[in-house]
Amino acid sequence: MSGKSLKNNAELLTLGSFVLALVTCIISGYSIIYALVFGLICFIIYSVVKGFDFHQINAMIWFGIFKLKNLFLIFVFIGLLTASWRLSGTIPYIIHRSINLINPALFYATVFLLCCLISTLIGTAIGTVSTIGIICMMIAQANQADLGLTAGAIIGGSYFGDRFSPMSSSANLICNLTDTNIYTNLRNMVRSTVVPFFASILIYLAFSLFRQSVFKTNVDVTEIGNHFALRPIVILPALIILVFSLLKVRVTVTMLFSIVSACLIAVLVQKAQIADILTSLLLGYEPHSDSNIVRLMGGGGLISMSRAFVIISISASYFGFFLKTDLIKAIDPVVQYHSNRYGNFATIVPVSLITAALSCNQTLSVMLTSKLIETRYASRHELAVDLEDSAIVIAPLIPWSVAATIPIIVLNAESSSLLYAFFLYLLPVMKLMANRARLRVTQSEVSP
Query: CA–CA separation, 201 vs 127, rounded Å?
Result: 22
Residues 233, 265: Cα–Cα separation, whole Å? 8
CB atoms within 10 A of CB 298: 16
User: How far, in Å, are 18, 297, 311, 413 from residue 29 at the CA level?
Assistant: 16, 29, 16, 15
DSSP string, 169-202: HHHHHHHHHHT--HHHHHHHHHHHHHHHHHHHHH
Q: What is the average pLDDT across 240-268?
A: 87
Q: How far is CA 83 from CA 90, 91, 134, in A?
A: 10, 10, 11
Q: Which of 129-138, 308-317, 339-348, 425-434 has the lowest mean pLDDT?
A: 308-317
| Lowest mean pLDDT, pick from 220-229, 230-239, 263-272 | 220-229
pLDDT band at 2 (very low <50, low <70, confident <90, very high): very low
Q: What is the pLDDT of residue 419?
A: 94
Residues in the chain: 448
Query: What pLDDT, on a 0 to 100 scale, did the predictor assign at position 347?
Result: 92
How far, in Å, CA of 277 to CA of 293, rounded? 21
Distances (CA, A) of 78 to 28, 131, 141, 270, 312: 31, 9, 21, 21, 15
Residue-level pLDDT at 5: 47
Over residues 191-218, the pLDDT tens digits come to: 999 999 999 999 999 998 887 666 665 6
What pLDDT score does 194 carry?
A: 94
For 168-188, letters b (16+ CB in 10 Å) and e give bbbbebbbebbebebeebbeb
Average the pLDDT over 46-54 and give the result: 89
Q: Rounded to two decimals, what is the model's pTM?
A: 0.77
127: phi then psi, degrees, rounded to nearest 5 = -65, -40
- Ranking 147-151, 257-261, 358-362, 390-394 by mean pLDDT, the lowest is 358-362
Q: What φ, ψ does residue 53 adopt, rounded to 5°?
A: -95, 180
- Name the β-bridge partners of 285: 299
What confidence score (pLDDT) does residue 358 get? 79
User: With pLDDT > 90 as the criterion, what percentage of the chain qualifies?
Assistant: 30
What is the tens place of the pLDDT at every residue in 383-409?
999 999 999 999 999 988 888 988 998
The percent of residues above 70 in pLDDT, for the chain, comes to 93
Please state, rounded to an integer, the average pLDDT across all residues of the chain.
Answer: 84
H or E, element range at 140: helix 134-142
pLDDT of residue 428: 95
What is the rounded average pLDDT of the residues 366-380? 86
pLDDT confidence bin for 447, thresholds 50/70/90: low
Q: What is the pLDDT of residue 439?
A: 67
Residue in 84, 82, 76 with CA at minimum distance from that of residue 267: 84
pLDDT band at 287 (very low <50, low <70, confident <90, very high): confident
Largest CA distance in the chain: 82
Contact 266, 277 (CB under 8 A): yes
Question: What local confidence, expressed as pLDDT, does residue 218 receive?
Answer: 61
Closest-CA residue to 214 (of 293, 104, 136):
104
What DSSP assignment string belongs to 8-32? HTHHHHHHHHHHHHHHHHHHHT--H
Lowest-pLDDT choice from 1-15, 65-79, 364-378: 1-15
CB 260 within 8 A of CB 140: no
The DSSP H or E segment spanning 43 is: helix 32-49
Query: pLDDT band at residue 127, thresholds of 50, 70 and 90?
Result: confident
Structure confidence at residue 1 (pLDDT): 47
Closest-CA residue to 66 (of 325, 327, 317, 324) = 317
Q: Write the pLDDT tens digit of every residue in 24-41.
A: 887 887 877 888 899 899
Q: Which residue has the higher pLDDT, 274 or 291?
A: 274
Which value, to the nearest 10 degrees, does the dihedral of the CA atoms of residues 396, 247, 80, 232 take? -120
User: Is 3's pLDDT higher than 60?
Assistant: no
Residue 182 is predicted with a pLDDT of 81
Look at residue 437 and tell me whether its pLDDT is greater than 90.
no
Distance (Å, rounded) from C-alpha 274 to C-alpha 272? 7
Per-residue model confidence as pLDDT tens digits over 159-198: 998 888 876 778 877 887 888 888 888 899 999 999 999 9
Other beta carbons within 10 Å of 2: 7
Please provide the DSSP assignment of 374-406 as one string: GGG-S-HHHHHHHHHTTHHHHGGGSTTSHHHHH
Give the pLDDT confidence score for residue 126 in this predicted structure: 82
